[in-house]
Structure 1
Amino acid sequence: MRPILLLVLLSFGSPVMAQIYKYTDANGNTAYSNQPPDGVKAQPLDLPPLNSVQTQPPGPSAPTREDREKPHETYEVLQLTGLPANEALRANNGTFTVNALIKPRLQDHHLLRLLLDDQPYGQPSNVPTLQLVNLDRGEHRLAVQVIEGENVVQQSPAVSFTLLRARAP
């Protein structure tokens, strides 16, 4: 009695695999079944193993509302370079470039926006080389902002300079 009980218990522990058969029915249609019909030549099919899904360990969660409302971390260095310190800038057509020095590097969701005389100038960009075009001669102030959407994350100190342009004859 014990060996029979043991066999019954072991049969429940192993996975059940049903055989699938392919045959042609009386109407000439291809049919499939887990039991071969009587009097019909049925071919057993070798099926590929079933798909299985592995559970993944939980990954980093999406930022919560509190995380989004935390103050932004500031950059260690944010300043404009490429402007003369003690002399005027000569650009006869009023076009020149400045560079934004930023450390650590600009985060993916941040952009740089140039301020000319305390007003936004040009389109925000993730490129640290910023171009000014056809600027009038005279005294100007430049600064660069790191923005996220419409929010200012950080602003560099303003740099004052004088632009010299050649006069048309």
Structure 2
Amino acid sequence: MGRCLPFILLLIALPASAQIYKYTDANGNTAYSNQPPDGVKAQPVELPPLNSIEPQSPKDPEPPADATDREQPGSAYEVLELTGLPTTEALRANNGTFTVNVLIKPRLQGPHLFRLLLDDQPYGQPSNVPILQLVNIDRGLHSLAVQVIDGESIVQQSPSVTFTVQRVHKP
């Protein structure tokens, strides 16, 4: 397993468009490469698509919703909250990229999607995956919430989480 770990990390780091090949080397070890080796039978490896969210340019700001609109009695979900963000210390993300998890009970229903709100503005494309990635977020204090939406309608919104992003400053 020790020899396979660098190859697994390599697989994770490669872009989705690159082809990966799996083969057995002369010593009988399983190896991975982005080019099939000469004279060795190599099998292409199917990789799942990466989940990433690209920042969108902000639209005209919408008026903030009242607190009564955000917490509706008889909500569709018993639990809707973000996890994976530190609340007592800074989040170290040297390139400003990190992921957050959505805790939701019961599971996300049919046409519903998750939409992140970064600093009270929609961030990225809506998704049905409960692991969401933020890319190139500026250092400093931010707030983050997740909404469950059905088309353009907000079904439910999580409480907002305030956190600080810490990045390396390069002169």
Q: Which band: TM-score by shorter chain?
A: 0.5 to 0.7
Q: Which structure has more RCO (C-alpha within 8 Å, separation ≥ 6)? A: 2
Aligned to 1:102: 104
- What does the per-residue CA deviation read over 1:35-75, in whole Å, with 9 as the maximum and x for residues that have no partner? xxxxxxxxxxxxxxxxxxxxxxxxxxxxxxxxxxxx98420
- What does the per-residue CA deviation read over 1:4-52, in whole Å, with 9 as the maximum and x for residues that have no partner? xxxxxxxxxxxxxxxxxxxxxxxxxxxxxxxxxxxxxxxxxxxxxxxxx
Q: Which runs of 5+ in 2 are unaligned?
A: 1-72
* Alignment TM-score, normalising by the size of structure 2: 0.56
How many Å separate the matches in 2 of 1:137 and 1:114?
A: 18
Q: Contact 1:88–1:161 (CA<8 Å) still a contact in 2?
A: yes
How many Å separate the matches in 1 of 2:82 and 2:110?
A: 20
The residue identity in structure 2 corresponding to 1:97 is T
How many Å separate the matches in 2 of 1:137 and 1:149?
A: 32
How many Å separate the matches in 1 of 2:142 and 2:107?
A: 27
Q: Contact 1:146–1:152 (CA<8 Å) still a contact in 2?
A: yes
1:92 Cα offset (Å)? 0.4
* Alignment TM-score, normalising by the size of structure 1: 0.57
How many Å separate the matches in 2 of 1:106 and 1:74?
A: 9
Aligned to 1:134: 136
SS at match of 1:121: strand
Kindly report the root-mean-square deviation, in angstroms, between the aligned alpha carbons of the 2 structures.
1.4
The residue identity in structure 1 corresponding to 2:159 is P
Aligned pairs for 1:125-164 (under 5 A) are: 125-164=127-166
Aligned to 1:31: none
- Percent sequence identity is 76
Q: Contact 1:72–1:153 (CA<8 Å) still a contact in 2?
A: no
How many Å separate the matches in 2 of 1:122 and 1:129?
A: 13
Aligned to 2:80: 78
Aligned to 1:93: 95
Larger Rg: 1
Aligned pairs for 1:1-12 (under 5 A) are: none
The residue identity in structure 1 corresponding to 2:155 is V
How many Å separate the matches in 2 of 1:108 and 1:130?
A: 19
How many Å separate the matches in 1 of 2:153 and 2:74?
A: 10
How many Å separate the matches in 2 of 1:72 and 1:86?
A: 32
How many Å separate the matches in 1 of 2:118 and 2:125?
A: 12
1:108 Cα offset (Å)? 1.3
Aligned to 1:113: 115
The residue identity in structure 2 corresponding to 1:123 is Q
